[in-house]
Amino acid sequence: MEAYTDFAKVYDEFMDETPYHDWAAYISRLISGYGISAPYANKGAATTKGEEEPETEYEDAEDSVEDTEELLLQEKNLVVELGCGTGSFTEEMAKLGFDMIGIDNSGDMLGIARNKMEKAGLDIMYLEQDMCELDLFCTAGTIVSVCDSINYLIEDEQIRKAFTKVNNYLYPGGLFLFDFNTLHKYRDVIGNVTIAENREDCSFIWENFFDVDTNINEYDLTLFVKKGAGTDKASADASEELFERSIETHLQRGYTLDEMKAFVEQAGMTFITAIDADTHEEPTEDSERIYVLAREHGKDMN
């Protein structure tokens, strides 16, 4: 079965302890320190026009210039998330004031993200796309990817293609910020294990296999979901004590920081820095998840 279909229904329940809010707060600080995007709260001074001036014969031309500048500013302040899933991190960034677009290749996950957005009263655009085929209508000042989405790119050419697309759609000087699980985490920490967890409405068995020859991590996820789980109570099935079983297979690849640096540079971007995602210090051989910050390169700033 394709990944993130049935799993989408209960993804948020199993990820309920994920610190999305803390991630967003920290990444917001990184964007402020290294990037060019700003949240809504900081846009006012830049986008508010000055006091009204007397009309002149050049008024139309001036308005046109102002409109163009406004559009460019909107692109500069736009943040795009790749692999947004059910939109939990996307929403946290939107609550911090960022203009967000969420992109994922799972329609099931995006359906849940849109429902959550409407209930929260937020304004987020969600697009169903493969990050290797990224196709935006404009550039973006910041492109982010968290929660090891990049690890789902298991071939060198996939990463090069996705990163090249990122560089293409970044605003001049824009920031690409992503995390990835390291080879050390898959090989030495997770390894070949079986994990099981039981909840009231769902349970799962996670069988993990790591291939030392390819650095590919495979986990077979067996789900048992109570009928009606993930839906409105009013529409729950009458046979609510019945559980449906499904199996999904997920493939991810472990990478080293040196490999990621090379992919960034091969895509035409400039590597800025790397940060251990847990300690927020310089990465070490024991780092399990790493943030990489890179900058757009190649576009004319004028």
Confidence of residue 8 (pLDDT cuts 50, 70, 90): confident
- Distances 87 to 19, 103, 110, 153, 161 between C-alpha atoms, Å: 13, 9, 7, 20, 24
246-289 pLDDT tens trace: 888 999 999 999 999 999 999 999 999 999 999 999 999 999 99
pLDDT above 80: residue 52: no
Query: Which of these, 268, 279, 274, lies nearest to 291 by C-alpha position?
Result: 274
Q: What is the pLDDT of residue 99?
A: 97
* R_g (Cα) of the chain, nearest Å: 21
Q: Which residues of 261-288 are buried (b: 16+ CB within 10 A; e: fewer)?
A: ebbbeebebebbebbbbeeeeebeeebb
pLDDT above 80: residue 53: no
Q: Which domains, from first to last, does the chain contain?
A: 6-36+67-182+255-295 (3.40.50.150), 187-252 (2.20.25.110)
What integer best gives the mean pLDDT of the chain?
Answer: 87
Query: Which has more confidence, 4 or 124?
Result: 124
Q: What is the pLDDT of residue 4?
A: 59
Tell me the pTM. Answer: 0.85
195-249 pLDDT tens trace: 888 887 888 898 999 999 999 999 998 888 887 655 555 444 455 678 888 888 9
